[in-house]
Structure 1
Amino acid sequence: MRLRRGVTIAVVAAGGAVTTMLVGLVTNAVSESEWPGWLGWLQRHAWLSFALLGGAMVGLAVLLAALSETRTPPRPTEPPHPEDGLEPPGAALVLRSLPRDTAAFTDRSAELEALVRSVRVSQESGSAMPVHVIDGMPGVGKTTFAVHAGHVLSERFPDGQLFVNLNGHTTGRAPVQANEALASLLAATGVPAQRIPVGDDVGAVTEARAAMWRSRLADKKALLILDNAASYQQLEPLIPGGSGCLVLVTSRKRLAAYEEVVLPVAALPPEHAVDLFVLLSGRSADSLDRAVLTNMVGLCGHLPLGVSLLAARLRHHPSWSADDLRARLVVAQDRLGELRAGERAVAAAFDLSYRDLEPDQQRFFQRLGFYPGTDFDVHAGAALGSVPVASARGELDALYDAHLIDEHPGSRYRLHDLLRDYARGLADEGGTMEHVQAVHRVCTYYLAALAVANGHILRSGAVTPAPPGVDVRVETPPMESRTAALGWLENERANVLACIRRAHSLALHELVIRMAAAMAPFLRQAGPWDQAVSLHRTAAEAARHTGDRRALAGALAELGVVRRFMGAYPEATEALNEAVTEYDAVGERRGKADALNQVGIVWYMIADNDASAGAQTDALALYRELGDRLGQANALADLGMVRRQTSRFDAAMEAQTEALSIYRELGDRYGEANSLRDLGVVHCLLGEYQLAEQRHREAFGIYQELDDRVHQAYALNELGVVRRLTGDLPGAREVHSAALEHYTELGERFGRANSLRHLGVLDRMEGNITEAIRVLGDALGSYRDLGSRGGEAAALGELGVVQGMVAEREDAVEAFQSSLEILRELGDRCGEAEVLNHWGMLLHASGEWAASREYFEQALELARDIRCPLEEARGLEGIGRCEWMADGPARAEVSLREALAVYRRLGANGAADAVERLLASQTG
């Protein structure tokens, strides 16, 4: 492509040059002087010169047009997004299996045979399977046909069947954006939230998610139904890249897709429409006048939706004849005369079914039309209808019997788009505020249900009062466990977010604020996090509209937390600092303490240790004033990590031990595991390797109980460090590799960088220097991308060692200098001692024993000051080796034997054996 583009441009440039020359020739064609050679011929034929000039200009214009047309078509533009990101997030409803097949599927044998034949040919030939687009007018049965075809073909696609509603023509709901649908599809196929790409650039995020989606299905045989598509632009990123997947698309309009097979679904032939009517009416064919039936199904346009509604009316009225029903249909069509012919045909069938309902059922049906979501259960239906759940169940059964709603797996219901329009039209006839009231009722229900779910998913000891404005009498679904709560949240995610969107559009700011806060705990852990960012920005704007500074602070705090998860540390700091200011302004001390704790974590991540320690100390003081035990434990644990990072090991141990005691008092297993893990890190730095390994194993076991794979990986990495330091290199590689696999799958970039750094050290120790340089370089790049100064310093120190081993002395010195600058800035004295020892070894290898000894002595002084025995032993060994070379073995023996004793005490047997061999060579 690039070569062809380059050749074309070169031709254009040459054409331009020729044209310029011809202009000059024509301009001077009447010159009196004689031109040399072939130019004289042009001078003597001026008119021909003009013709040549015109031809060249035309050719150049054609070539430029061709170039323009053959350029890569521009990426389809995303639908407009507000620049300030305040639009509430959307989500796609994704079913992990097909909806239930209808028992009364109408004969579509020709269309079905064409689809089955197309699939069979593609599979037998091994060619890529084209997209199959099922199009047709509303009510013609496109979705029913797609679902039925999916069931027929399901055995050919054993790797799964997915059904996605894209809301392309759903009244009251915006079409699902491609990036939203991709996030839901990835989650439905088992991709953890942490691994789903996120970011502020919608186009880049969509591309990244599409690439991951194609990768997930690359070698799979799966069936994907994309229902109710609005445009090819909407669905193109959702199409798998592999050849083994079947994609069925339903849409009301013709979509311009590449390599598609179009399966138009038209209205039923008259005889099939009559057969469907007879089947659904529950009466024998002999008892019905077929001529009357033919006329009646013709009145509803031979559309399956209208036919099924008419048949249901006759089944529910045993005393009616088919002619009675036809007469009522004619009256209904007259009443709906203002509608277009196609609309009137189906609406008349709706009208007959609706008028056959009891008044309470009619009112209930109208209110269902205002539901912002896609599908709903009996509890949401009860909230919409403002009736008890038991009554709602009866109303839904009646509507289902009347074919006015569809039933989906899991005791869920859905209105056809046309029926939704019809229901809303009925409710709007009175010109009341029913729409706003219905949205308010269903949002209030979801608030109550979210409060129940959050009671299961929040950590022990967390404060979980019912959100303000929640009626505790609202009936909510049974959720007896964390698993059940998470399952309910995942099933309802798209509907809750749709309700927030509707509330936002209706300027129901208080509801937006409360629902965003109620969804925050789930979105923190389930993601995708860009969805959470959009939600909390919307909540913040709603709070600004109402002047509620407390709510604004809460939204900003949640925004900051999610930004931290995304690795966007500057944005996280900005949001959390603003939250602290807002909480302070309204005197909300617990919120302020939480925000301080969170911003302290961000500062810890970027190794701004002074700021982090200050924030955690302030948070701890507030938590103690409030008697908030969980808050105290969190602040102590995070403060302990800062103390450890600044080599204040005694203070770190004290804070972390107190935190561990509180976590155990509260029964908070997650906090307990975190404190155990960090205590293990401190024990490791103090050379207490056996105790360190015990703590890491305890933490790993708890993380396994909690099914927390991210923190399992952190525990594995720390366990690997202990194994490396005690000489078990194969064991260290095993756990670091397992951690890397976890991080890569989960998309945890900081943890992945840590695993790579540790593996790079192992590569260096095992003599694989080329691989060590590559892996450490990868880790360094990740740390820099994340803004992790501590990680950057550690990677630079290790990179300097391997560069020195391949005689890249200048690069090694530069790496050590950069690492020391960062470590001294951060106050990491243990890391500083380690790099000084590395630098000393580099100088020792070059024969610069006096300079080398100076670095070892600096490292020894630091190590003894902070009680870091491993670096103390390395400093002593380095000094002894320098003395050995400069002054002889006798002078070196004291330092070397002292180093040997420390190594043996630590269990660092590999280093101890090396020193013993050196000492033995003296006596030998």
Structure 2
Amino acid sequence: MLVTSRNRCAELDGASLLDLPVPGVEEALGMLAARIGRSRVEADPANARALVDACGRLPVALRVNASRLAVQPGRGLGDLLARFADERSRLTQLAIGDVAVTTSFELGHRELAPLAAQVFRNAALVPGASFSAEAVAALLPADEGLVRRALGELVADNLVQADGSGRYRYHDLLRLYAVRTLEKAQGGTDRSAAFGRLLTWYLGRTAAAMRLVYAEMVRLPLDIEPPAQPFRDDDAAMAWLNEEVDNLVAAIEEAAAGPHRARAWQLADQLRGYFFVGRDAVAWLAGGRAGLAAAEAAGDLRAQAAMHQTLGQAHWSVGHHELAAEVYARGMDAAARSGWLAGEAYLRHNLGLVHAERGRLDEAEALYRQTLEISSGPEFSHIRAVTLNDLGTMCQERGELTEAVRYFRAALEINQGAARRPSAIVNRSNLGMVLRQLEEFDAARDHLDAALRFYRTTGSRTGQMCVLDELSQMYRQLGEWFSAVETAAEALHIARELGDARSEAGVLNTLGFALLGSRAVTDARERFDESLAVSRRYGYRYFEAQAAVGVSETHLLSGAAGKAYATAQEAYGIAAGKAYRTVQADALLALARAALEMGDRHAASGHGRAARDLLETAGAPSRVRDCDALLARIAEEPAASPLG
């Protein structure tokens, strides 16, 4: 005997229970074709697939619509599909005669215990595809253990599905039915209050998670007290955020258009650190735009400044620097008009960061120093630390390496004093970068290894990428070419996985020079060309100049000294115009080698001496020794006619 039921029929003695999943797409299409004819399905496959999706692939829903089409052989599938465009009326459309999808839903709902019925209806308020017992308990409100048992009853009755990881989901049509029953059972005010409780719970949990994952950010003050830490460590906090992020963004978008709009911008503001670590720009921008719309609707200038901050950072993360600068400027204005000094200082710093990446170093430095001036109090220590760190980065790009060390150490001292470990690790990574350039390899390796351990433990892909890039360059300096190539290749894979264009441009150069040292000239040239394309697309002048030096070196190794000289001149023009002294020195050395190969000892000597002066100022002893060796070789060459 075969018995079918929505319920599991666990009470049937001796029965073998078999769970039947919802039919797959191909099976559902086959059911439709069996009723209306395969030719009609094959004649319009896109609408046929859309129709079975609209029916949720449920056999009873497919039967209803197949019956409609069977008695109207001339009717197109798209015509019937148009009736399902309005989700609110979809359940009504899924009925014909005495056959209706909702019949079995209603029978199952009526047989539920009161709390289970309440859970079934109210869980539909949770935005997103899945939900947790904790979220439903928060919006009811009810005891979490009781809610979990009620969800178990719903799973047994096939009214919700459990995914095995502690989360639940409706079938699409059951969600529509739950919404309908909720609207009948509760008025709009009660539903709004429940959604408000959910948003407050989300905000508290998100704020608690961010205290562990990325506390070091300027954020708006909260109007709630976050719960006692619900997460055992930052891994647990990140795992919760990863599970809930789609729901959180959906909640922001829904809250922005209603009476709970303040929760929209508060949640978007809290999530900025999460997105900064993970670089999911699509979700980041969606949440930020909804939060900004809510802040503008409320006329809250401080909230608008915070949302411009989150949007600017999202645009910056994917290389949209011009747009980021515009958004940051609007945010600075809103922060200043609202009297939010911390927000203004942080936005000013970030605008400086954008200018620095676009090669406008003087403007960047002015903004950094203005930031330091207006953030002198102890409450601004985080802003001071990030600004000092970025001044260090700017000095490194200018070839002012000892000054860079001073700024990075000052930032590290602030962050270690405040027990801000993630920020201190950033400073250590940057110190490793400059100490590597100063050829203090033991100290550099100590900082870089510590940073890489931290980033591997916390799962920060961005952090791993940056440290791997530096380690590759150190291996190159030490002549360990295999390790240099392998490490740079791993960094490039991460950069592309993250969609981080700026890092991709830089790491392509790192890999190119590692390949060049391995005498893989063709592969190196391809990497430099790729870096040039990315750098020119986004305006990364530092990496453009660096890549041009690499292209010059490939020309020289390929026997094309004239092309090498011309490309090195191009690199020098960019680097000198932006005061990138180390790249400027690299370009001068490339010019010297090309000139020597072309027989112009005088030009080669002049370029070599100019490079030596720059490198001596920067404090790079082995690079100075390399210059001396090149100058000695130039002196030994016979004189020839000058270039030109």
The TM-score range, normalised by the shorter chain, is: 0.7 to 0.9
| Bigger CA radius of gyration | 1
**What letter matches 1:662 in structure 2?**
I
In 2, Cα distance between the equivalents of 1:413 and 1:343?
A: 31
Residues 318-717 of structure 1: pairs in structure 2 closer than 5 A: 366-389=121-144, 392-393=147-148, 396=151, 407-415=162-170, 420-429=175-184, 432-459=188-215, 467-468=222-223, 470=224, 478-506=230-258, 508-717=260-469
1:527–1:687 CA distance, 2 compared to 1 (3 A): closer
> Contact 1:640 / 1:655 at 8 angstroms: preserved in 2?
yes
**What letter matches 1:441 in structure 2?**
R
**What letter matches 2:348 in structure 1?**
L
Q: Deviations over 1:639-694 (max 9, x none)?
A: 11111111222221111111122232233333233222322332233343444344
**What letter matches 1:438 in structure 2?**
A
In 1, Cα distance between the equivalents of 2:493 and 2:117?
A: 56
- As a proportion of its length, which structure holds more helix? 2
1:831 matches 2:634: no
> Contact 1:557 / 1:595 at 8 angstroms: preserved in 2?
yes
In 2, Cα distance between the equivalents of 1:736 and 1:513?
A: 39
> Contact 2:349 / 2:368 at 8 angstroms: preserved in 1?
yes
Unaligned runs of 5+ in 1: 1-100, 116-129, 138-230, 237-248, 256-261, 268-336, 888-924
Which residue of 2 is the match for residue 133 of structure 1? Answer: 28
> Contact 1:136 / 1:264 at 8 angstroms: preserved in 2?
no
1:352–1:572 CA distance, 2 compared to 1 (3 A): same
Aligned residues: 589
1:471–1:392 CA distance, 2 compared to 1 (3 A): farther
In 2, Cα distance between the equivalents of 1:477 and 1:625?
A: 29
In 1, Cα distance between the equivalents of 2:447 and 2:48?
A: 51
In 2, Cα distance between the equivalents of 1:343 and 1:611?
A: 74
In 2, Cα distance between the equivalents of 1:720 and 1:339?
A: 62
Q: Among residues 856, 860, 867, which one is paired with 2:612 in the alignment? A: 860
**What letter matches 1:488 in structure 2?**
W
In 2, Cα distance between the equivalents of 1:446 and 1:854?
A: 65
Unaligned runs of 5+ in 2: 1-5, 33-44, 65-91, 640-644
2:319 is paired with a residue of what secondary structure? Answer: coil
The structural deviation recorded for 1:131 is 4.1
1:849–1:102 CA distance, 2 compared to 1 (3 A): farther
1:438 is paired with a residue of what secondary structure? Answer: helix
The structural deviation recorded for 1:588 is 0.8
In 2, Cα distance between the equivalents of 1:730 and 1:701?
A: 21
> Contact 1:375 / 1:412 at 8 angstroms: preserved in 2?
yes
1:102–1:644 CA distance, 2 compared to 1 (3 A): farther
> Contact 1:636 / 1:655 at 8 angstroms: preserved in 2?
yes
In 1, Cα distance between the equivalents of 2:561 and 2:420?
A: 50
> Contact 1:500 / 1:515 at 8 angstroms: preserved in 2?
yes
In 2, Cα distance between the equivalents of 1:368 and 1:254?
A: 22
In 1, Cα distance between the equivalents of 2:596 and 2:107?
A: 96
Q: Among residues 32, 39, 55, which one is paired with 1:252 in the alignment? A: 55
The structural deviation recorded for 1:808 is 3.0
Which residue of 1 is the match for residue 85 of structure 2? Answer: none
> Contact 2:235 / 2:458 at 8 angstroms: preserved in 1?
no
1:677–1:266 CA distance, 2 compared to 1 (3 A): same
In 1, Cα distance between the equivalents of 2:464 and 2:161?
A: 44
Sequence identity of aligned pairs in percent? Answer: 22
1:627 is paired with a residue of what secondary structure? Answer: helix
1:413–1:614 CA distance, 2 compared to 1 (3 A): same
> Contact 1:448 / 1:466 at 8 angstroms: preserved in 2?
no
Could you say what the CA RMSD is over the residues aligned between the two structures, in angstroms? 4.1
In 2, Cα distance between the equivalents of 1:487 and 1:830?
A: 42
1:341–1:652 CA distance, 2 compared to 1 (3 A): same
In 2, Cα distance between the equivalents of 1:233 and 1:788?
A: 46
The structural deviation recorded for 1:773 is 2.5
2:139 is paired with a residue of what secondary structure? Answer: helix
Q: Deviations over 1:490-535 (max 9, x none)?
A: 2223333333333244464323222322333333333531121122
The structural deviation recorded for 1:871 is 4.1
In 1, Cα distance between the equivalents of 2:9 and 2:93?
A: 32
**What letter matches 1:540 in structure 2?**
L
1:806 matches 2:558: yes
1:793 matches 2:542: no
In 1, Cα distance between the equivalents of 2:470 and 2:198?
A: 48
The structural deviation recorded for 1:472 is 5.4
1:628 is paired with a residue of what secondary structure? Answer: helix
> Contact 1:400 / 1:406 at 8 angstroms: preserved in 2?
yes
In 1, Cα distance between the equivalents of 2:94 and 2:433?
A: 74
**What letter matches 1:611 in structure 2?**
E
Residues 300-319 of structure 1: pairs in structure 2 closer than 5 A: none
**What letter matches 2:628 in structure 1?**
L
In 1, Cα distance between the equivalents of 2:48 and 2:329?
A: 38
Q: Deviations over 1:605-637 (max 9, x none)?
A: 233222222222233333332433333222211
Which residue of 1 is the match for residue 81 of structure 2? Answer: none
Q: Deviations over 1:677-722 (max 9, x none)?
A: 3223322333434443443333333333333343333223323323
Which residue of 2 is the match for residue 847 of structure 1? Answer: 599
> Contact 1:743 / 1:751 at 8 angstroms: preserved in 2?
yes
> Contact 2:315 / 2:323 at 8 angstroms: preserved in 1?
yes
* Structure with higher RCO (Cα < 8 A, 6+ apart): 1
The structural deviation recorded for 1:580 is 1.6
> Contact 2:561 / 2:598 at 8 angstroms: preserved in 1?
no
The structural deviation recorded for 1:343 is 7.7
In 2, Cα distance between the equivalents of 1:763 and 1:384?
A: 58
In 2, Cα distance between the equivalents of 1:683 and 1:361?
A: 63
The structural deviation recorded for 1:350 is 5.6
In 1, Cα distance between the equivalents of 2:163 and 2:589?
A: 67
The structural deviation recorded for 1:382 is 2.5
In 1, Cα distance between the equivalents of 2:480 and 2:105?
A: 75
1:651–1:409 CA distance, 2 compared to 1 (3 A): same
> Contact 2:565 / 2:590 at 8 angstroms: preserved in 1?
no
> Contact 1:520 / 1:532 at 8 angstroms: preserved in 2?
yes
2:130 is paired with a residue of what secondary structure? Answer: coil
Q: Deviations over 1:590-611 (max 9, x none)?
A: 1122222323332332332222
In 1, Cα distance between the equivalents of 2:199 and 2:457?
A: 34
In 2, Cα distance between the equivalents of 1:659 and 1:847?
A: 49
> Contact 1:135 / 1:250 at 8 angstroms: preserved in 2?
no
**What letter matches 2:407 in structure 1?**
A
